[in-house]
Chains A and B, each alone.
Chain A
Amino acid sequence: MTERNRKEELLLALNKLEAYHEIQNEMGRLTAAFNFHQKERVREHFAMELADVSLEYADEGRFEGPEAVDAALEELLGGEAKPGEMLDLQLTTPMIEVADDGKTAKCVWWCPGVGARTDEEGAHALWIWGQTAVDFIRLQEVWKVWHLHYFRLIKCSYEKGWVEDLSMINRFNTPMHPKSLPSTYHNPYSPLSIRDGIPCPPRPYHTYTQADRFWELNRDKR
């Protein structure tokens, strides 16, 4: 190995370590903004300058392109936060693979959480657990969300629990958003569902290619 090769490898390792920390921070900030119902702060974390930026949320469909992502954020966070409402998703179990070329990263977090919804009877406590798979891309020295997919695991009444209350695992029977594309995957827990380890853990890679799109849906764990 030449002197230059050695230096390059050392820099690569260091750059990956820094990326690991920066991506954890960025995802933490995005999650806090989402929990705090701050649409504009959430939007700042997306690579809105890219035509294929995307957001897929549970079974609400996949929103691809800046306009569609804006529409999805408006659906999720557009209205005023209401008294008694709460979302508190948290990031655990980080699996982060930074590409050898340092330009992208594939990531998965498991996200336990709590929440509260309101109706005419008042506020109701909820369990809200899921997983998030994210492709990050480095643009102008900042890591931005390129593709984000939130997978719902449970969403249920706190009192009844995830085995008895299945009323919120699937979206209500209303028309899909006109800017949405079909969901790629939706398999929340129910007494009859079978878990299949999706999103899958990312594997080390050199450069993100078109073939990597939807890597998180790979059911082959070999």
Chain B
Amino acid sequence: MRWTMEDLELLSEEELENLEKRVARLLSVWQIQNLRGAAAVFHDDQHIGEQRRELNALDYPGVDAGKILEMRKKPVVDSLEGNMLIHPLTTPVIEIDDANTKARGVWWSLGIEGLSIHREKPLAIVSVGMVPGVHVKEAGEWRILWGVWQRTTKNEYHAGWVDSMVPTNTRPPLTPEQDRQGFGRYAYQKDRVRQAVPLPPEADTWNRYPDEWDQGWMKKSEEE
């Protein structure tokens, strides 16, 4: 059933305030899911250079807005034709702080890509990974404070993830070592035990890690 003004007028002020807070935090979870979905659209190289609604908290203290905006201007392929980068978001774990101003989240993803750097026949890629991050409210809406794609696999389709690891496409190209230190830091390697990073945020994450810039919550297993 739908609730009416008449129904709500029956609540005391204290009851109403309590419900407002609980509803607001649930709405935040929903909005952050939408925010990260929107960010996934612009994660696709196809949209580099396109005018967009701002999704990052560029005015938040500590954010290097200039660096973020500069990165967006750099094309990494000659033509958008044949390129695709689709990373659907799954397995959400989202924890909002009590004040409803900060949120940690981790998503997993099983995606596909098409990569054509110099107009050659595109490379089909299977791309598995995760998206950890922190979100804050800026100008009345949730925005991304930090957190981007973390690779698990990025393999040529036919070769599979055991035998193929395509480096992140940049200009100039990354060496394999640079790639491993960057997006590939926690990627699958056939001669390594997988590292448990990022861990999803626990229910008490904001009590244990109150600083929104702290990344310890998602790398706890490295410290243990």
A→B interface (CB under 8 Å)? 3, 6-7, 9-10, 14, 17-18, 21-22, 24-25, 28-29, 31-32, 36-38, 80-86, 88, 90-92, 112-114, 116, 118, 122-125, 142, 158-159
The 8 A-B pairs of least Cβ separation, nearest first, read: A36-B196, A28-B93, A125-B160, A123-B190, A90-B90, A91-B91, A84-B190, A158-B160
Q: Per-residue CB proximity of B86-99 to A under 8 Å, as 1/0?
A: 00101111110000
**What are 19 sample pairs from A and B whose C-beta atoms fall under 8 A apart?**
A3-B10, A14-B26, A17-B26, A18-B26, A21-B26, A28-B93, A29-B202, A31-B91, A31-B108, A32-B93, A36-B194, A85-B194, A88-B128, A113-B110, A114-B126, A116-B162, A123-B162, A158-B160, A159-B158
The reply to whether B193 and A14 contact each other, CB–CB distance below 8 Å, is no
* Interface size range of chain B in the complex: 35 or more
A24 with B194: CB separation less than 8 A: no
Proximity bits, B77-115, A CB within 8 Å = 1, else 0: 000000000001011111100000000001011100000
Query: Which B-chain residue is minimally distant from A114 (CB atoms)?
Result: B128
Partner-A contacts on B (CB < 8 A): 1, 3, 7, 10-11, 15, 19, 22-23, 26, 29, 88, 90-95, 106, 108-110, 126, 128, 152-153, 158, 160-163, 188-194, 196, 199-200, 202-203, 221
Report the Cα distance A103→B190, complex, angstroms.
44
For A125, list chain B residues within 8 Å (CB).
160-163
Chain B residues, Cβ within 8 Å of A84: 162, 189-192
Taking the closest CB of chain B, its distance from the CB of A130, in whole angstroms, is 13
Q: From known contacts A21-B29, A82-B193, infer whether A90 and B15 are also in contact, taking CB-CB under 8 Å.
A: no
Give the residues in chain B near A124, CB-CB below 8 Å. 162
A122/B19 in contact, CB under 8 A: no
For the complex, give the distance between the alpha carbons of A24 and B95 in Å: 11
**Cα-based distance from A151 to B10 in the complex (angstroms):** 47
Known: A6-B7, A25-B94. A114 touches B110 (CB 8 A): yes
Contacts of B7 in A (CB 8 A): 6, 10
For residue A30, which residue of chain B has the nearest CB? B200
Q: Which residues of A contact B22 (CB under 8 A)?
A: 14, 18
Question: How would you classify the secondary structure of chain A's contact residues: helix, strand, loop or mixed?
Answer: mixed
Residue of A nearest to B199 (CB): A32
Contact yes or no, A81 B92, CB < 8 A: no
- A28 & B92 in contact (Cβ 8 Å cutoff): yes
Q: Is the CB of A158 within 8 A of B161?
A: yes
B111 to chain A, nearest CB (A): 11
Nearest CB in chain A to that of B160: its residue: A125
CB B135 to nearest CB in A, in angstroms, measures 15
**Contact A6 B10, beta carbon cutoff 8 Å:** yes
**Chain A residues near B153 (CB, 8 Å)?**
114
CB distance from A129 to the nearest CB of B (A): 10
Provide the residues of chain B in CB contact with A81, threshold 8 Å: 193-194
> Quick check: A122 and B110 within 8 Å, CB to CB?
no
Residue ID in chain A nearest B6 by CB atoms: A6
Residues of B within 8 A of A118 (CB): 190
CA gap between A200 and B191 in the complex, in Å: 40
A9 vs B10: C-alpha distance in the bound complex, in angstroms? 13
The answer to whether B200 touches A29, judged by C-beta atoms less than 8 angstroms apart, is yes
With a cutoff of 8 Å between Cβ atoms, the chain B residues found around residue A25 in the complex are 92-95, 200, 203
Q: Chain B contacts of A82 at CB under 8 A?
A: 193
Complex contact A116–B19 (CB within 8 A)? no
Other A-B contacts than A32-B196, A91-B90, A159-B158, 18 sampled, CB-CB below 8 A, are: A3-B10, A7-B10, A7-B11, A17-B26, A22-B203, A28-B91, A32-B91, A36-B199, A37-B196, A81-B193, A81-B194, A83-B189, A84-B162, A85-B194, A86-B194, A88-B110, A114-B161, A116-B188
